[in-house]
Amino acid sequence: MHAFAALLDSLIYTRGRNAKLKLIADYLHATPDPDRGWAMAALTGDLDLPAVKPALIRALIEARVDPVLFRMSRDYVGDTAETVALLWPAPAEQGVSTSLDTNGMMGGPSSPFAPSEVEGPVLTLTQAVDRLRAISRSDAPAALAAMLDRLDAEERFALLKMATGSLRIGVSARLAKTALAQGFGLEVDAVEELWHGLSPPYEPLFAWVRGEGAPPTPADTPVFRSFMLAHPLEDGAVDLADYAAEWKWDGIRVQLVHVAGETRLYSRTGDDVTASFPEVAASFRAPGVLDGELLVKGEAQGGEAASFNALQQRLGRKVVSSKMLADYPAFVRLYDILFDGAEDLRALPWTQRRARLEAFVPALDPDRFDLSQVIDAASFTELEAVRAGARDAAIEGVMLKRRDSPYVAGRRAGLWYKWKREPLTADCVMMYAQRGNGRRSSWYSDYTFGCWTAPPESGGELLPVGKAYQGITDQEIAELDRFVRTHTLHRFGPVREVEKTMVLEIAFDSIHASARHKSGLAMRFPRILRIRLDKPAMEADRLETLLKLAT
């Protein structure tokens, strides 16, 4: 555990991407199997330890220290694992008499851990994972407490982060896989494609990277392939003789894979989302791999694509009710074809893949699949006008794809561009502020803001319309933090209600009707554009203004 704990600690305090990559690669080289495999599972979010829940951790610490002290400390630190790791008392301080087995674990007939053949007090990462995977929820309190008693603060932090599945250390799954690839001289896309056919601790993968065998990919497994991505079109224009234009739909990008009678749906990050959209998977029975946008149909749109807000009702559900299937029917708007049967088409130019896709689509269920249409525009100027007038609920912008581009993983300069429509903006009043997480844990950096129901001089009230923490600099966060601390009206744990005098200009991609919010509205991707010190709060926007923008 000590080496893994030291890795997490170093990653937290390392800013640069290249430095993080080196830290992970060095760890993987220095660490034996299967420890390094479990470390990769933790870094990529593939480690599932269902017996340990946040409520259990809170109950354990509050049984050992003053609950008020814990909650106040958690409020200040901003991270439960770090707070518990620092506050956890030594066994002697708890007034608990414990006997230790040969591994330093709590012994006796009630212990969930039997002594292992490993001698000495060192607890390896593999031992920690094996024991947490093996315990039931009823055994979890004693088991976890015994492990925490045995570890130092740094190791306790690592154990709790790993157990809850939320590292939050500034390392994405892609970054961890990139570190593995670079550390062993591989292409990250090759590692990515193999990853989803394997399970932790990935011993066949590490055998392959050591040169001890072929890539460990079963031929009959529906395997994820890395998506081709686009660079933002910042300035300038492209020649439509070289580029095709199509709408950028506002759903979630998915890959449909059908191999050996089995279908899987993967998100852009490689997560298997098949269980959330079983009707789509059941309808895709043609051998191949397709790329498209997952959307839901809306009655208000006459069966066309509804807003992302409607799609959110389906996301993350492991069990989907018949009512949910009927109320939010899902379908995929298809962009590209990677495999036609067993034939790999990715090296073909876009024009040829498009022709193959157009030939592939008629065999699919039209209720579940359709083709993303190419925009008919004679020039870039004409395309600008078409894009400017697009406020369909499900349109996020325009995609520009070079006609001779192969399908390559990641972002490659000059091949694909995304040209999002200009954001909407509104002047809103800060209502509440909450402490951030990580390096922002000491700052009030998450802001809830609202708009007026009617002119304030006529009795209008503020209702929340969104929450944001992105878009501003550290200096501006410090400025808003001072405002929050000096203009607090009420405190609710880590949240403060503030005087309604600070105006923030908020940018957002779209806004939709929402029955879940008191204002009846929900913003899509809100972020703070600027602080409006020049504007009185009574001149902030009203809900009726936002309703006119709603799609």
Q: What is the pLDDT of residues 12-35, one digit of tens each?
A: 888 889 999 999 999 999 999 999
CB 549 within 8 A of CB 458: no
Query: What confidence category does residue 445 fall into, taking pLDDT thresholds of 50, 70 and 90?
Result: very high
Q: For 165, left (φ over 0), alpha (ψ -120 to 50), or beta?
A: left
Instruction: Supply the pLDDT for residue 247.
Output: 93
Instruction: Supply the pLDDT for residue 216.
Output: 73
Which residue type occupies 225? R
Question: In the predicted model, what is the mean pLDDT of residues 426-448?
Answer: 88
In the chain, the percentage of residues whose pLDDT exceeds 90 is 56
Residue 488 has pLDDT above 90, yes or no: yes
Question: In the predicted model, what is the mean pLDDT of residues 227-240?
Answer: 88
Instruction: Supply the pLDDT for residue 497.
Output: 95
Residue 113 has pLDDT above 50, yes or no: no
Instruction: Supply the pLDDT for residue 350.
Output: 98
Q: Is the pTM of this model over 0.75?
A: no
DSSP state, residue 258: E
Residue 223 to residue 315: CA distance in whole angstroms: 21
Query: What confidence category does residue 265 fall into, taking pLDDT thresholds of 50, 70 and 90?
Result: very high
Q: For residue 283, give every residue at least 6 positions away whose Cβ sits within 8 Å of its Cβ, in sequence order, or none.
A: 364, 365, 367, 368, 369
Question: In the predicted model, what is the mean pLDDT of residues 210-215?
Answer: 77
Residue 171 has pLDDT above 70, yes or no: yes
Question: In the predicted model, what is the mean pLDDT of residues 368-375?
Answer: 95
**Dihedral of alpha carbons 540, 544, 545, 550, sign:** positive
Residue 177 has pLDDT above 80, yes or no: yes
From the number of C-beta atoms within 10 Å of its C-beta (0-12, 13-18, 19+), residue 445 rates as buried
Q: At what angle do helices 125-134 and 153-164 cross, to 10 degrees?
A: 50
DSSP character string of 475-487:
HHHHHHHHHHHHS
Lowest mean pLDDT among 126-130, 272-276, 290-294, 363-367: 272-276
Question: In the predicted model, what is the mean pLDDT of residues 51-64?
Answer: 93
Q: For 343, left (φ over 0), alpha (ψ -120 to 50), or beta?
A: beta
Instruction: Supply the pLDDT for residue 98.
Output: 37
CB-facing half-sphere around the CA of 394: CA atoms within 13 A? 24
Q: Please give the mean pLDDT across all residues of the chain.
A: 86
Residue 155 has pLDDT above 60, yes or no: yes
Q: What is the pLDDT of residues 303-344, one digit of tens each?
A: 688 878 788 888 878 788 999 999 999 999 999 999 999 899
Instruction: Supply the pLDDT for residue 392.
Output: 66
Residue 424 has pLDDT above 90, yes or no: no
Q: Classify 314 as helix, strand or coil.
A: coil
Q: Which of 129, 131, 62, 125 is nearest to 101 (CA)?
A: 131
Torsion angle of C-alpha atoms 359, 364, 368, 374, degrees rounded to 10: 0
CB 8 within 8 A of CB 165: no
Q: What is the pLDDT of residues 502-544, one digit of tens each?
A: 999 999 988 888 877 888 888 888 999 999 988 999 999 999 9
CB 83 within 8 A of CB 157: no
Residue 120 has pLDDT above 70, yes or no: no
Query: What confidence category does residue 121 fall into, taking pLDDT thresholds of 50, 70 and 90?
Result: low
Question: In the predicted model, what is the mean pLDDT of residues 198-214?
Answer: 85
Query: What confidence category does residue 106 fall into, taking pLDDT thresholds of 50, 70 and 90?
Result: very low
Residue 76 has pLDDT above 70, yes or no: yes
Residue in this structure with the two tokens 């304030």, named with its chain if needed: 456
Query: What confidence category does residue 3 fall into, taking pLDDT thresholds of 50, 70 and 90?
Result: very high
Residue 375 has pLDDT above 60, yes or no: yes
Instruction: Supply the pLDDT for residue 525.
Output: 87
Residue in this structure with the two tokens 């996020």, named with its chain if needed: 396
